[in-house]
Amino acid sequence: MSSNNPLFFRQYTCPICETAFKSYSVRSSATFVEKRESDFHIIYRGHSPLHYSIVVCPVCEYAASNSVFNQALPKEQQLQLARALKILKKDNRPDFGGERDAYLAMQCFQLAVRTAQLKKVPPGELAGLLLGTAWVAREANQPEIEVEYRREALKYYLQAYHDSYNLGNLNELQVAYLIGELYRRDKEYQEAINWFNVVIGHKNIKSNPTIEKMAREQWALCREEAQQAQ
C-alpha cells in the first residue's frame, strides 16, 4: 500500500483464539484535529483515529483497544472468554478490518464494551469505552444510542472517581470535570454545577489551567441553561 495512503495495516494476534489478522490504523502524519468538544470528543478532518482505535478479531469477536489487544491473558480468563464469546457470536458480521465509517466504528466499540464487561475490567477503563461508544454514536447520528452509552459512562466514571486509584487514562480533575459535563448534557444541571464546583475548588486546579478554563466555561453555560429550563 502506498505510503501516501492515510490508512495502513497493522498485524494482530487474538489472545483468545490465536488468529493472526490485519486491521487498519490511521497514520499519525495523516491525523488532523478539526474540533475538540466539551466532553473530550475530538472531531478529525479526514480519517478519524477514533474509528480505528478498537480491534476486533474476525473469528471470535474478541474486541479491545489497539494499544492492549495483543496482550496475553491468564489462561483461565482466556478459556472463560472463549466460551462466552462462542455463545454470543453472531453470523454475518461486517468486516471490521477494513475502512470504517462512524456506524461501523460504533459497532466495534459496542463489541469492546461487551468484551470489557466479560473481562470485568476496572470501572475507569469500562467508562472510557462506554464514552467512546457514545462519541461514535453521535458521529453516526444515533442519538438514542449516544444517550444510552453516555449515561452508562457517567455511572462508571462516578464509581471510578470514588475508587480514585483507578481512573483509566484520566486524572482526578479530568474525571470530575467529565462527570459534570455528562450531567450537563443529560440536563441534570444542579448535579453538573456541583461537580464543576468540585473541579474549580480543587487544591490542584491551578496546575491544570486547561481544565480550570473548561470547568468555568461549562459552569457558566450550565447556569444559563438551568435558568432557561425553568
Q: What is the pLDDT of residues 17-27, one digit of tens each?
A: 999 999 999 99
Q: Is residue 225 very low, low, confident or very high in pLDDT (cuts 50, 70, 90)?
A: very high
Average pLDDT value for the chain: 94
The domain spans of the chain are 7-170, 171-230
CB 5 within 8 A of CB 144: no
CB 139 within 8 A of CB 102: yes
User: Closest Cα partner for 110 from 61, 164, 74, 73?
Assistant: 61
Give 104's contacts (C-beta < 8 A, 6+ positions apart): 51, 94, 96
**Which pLDDT score is estimated for 1?**
45
Q: Taking 70 as the threshold, does the pLDDT of residue 117 lie above it?
A: yes
Tens digit of each residue's pLDDT (9 = 90 or more) over 118-171? 999 999 999 999 999 999 999 999 999 999 999 999 999 999 998 876 787 889
Q: Taking 70 as the threshold, does the pLDDT of residue 2 lie above it?
A: no
Neighbour count for residue 210 (Cβ, 10 Å): 10
Q: pTM value?
A: 0.94
**Which pLDDT score is estimated for 21?**
96
- Separation CA 229–CA 4 (nearest Å): 50
Query: What are the start-end ranges of the E strands in the chain?
Result: 7-13, 20-26, 32-36, 42-45, 54-56, 63-65
Tens digit of each residue's pLDDT (9 = 90 or more) over 53-83? 999 999 999 999 999 999 999 999 999 999 9
Cell, residue 110: 459496542
Q: Taking 50 as the threshold, does the pLDDT of residue 47 lie above it?
A: yes
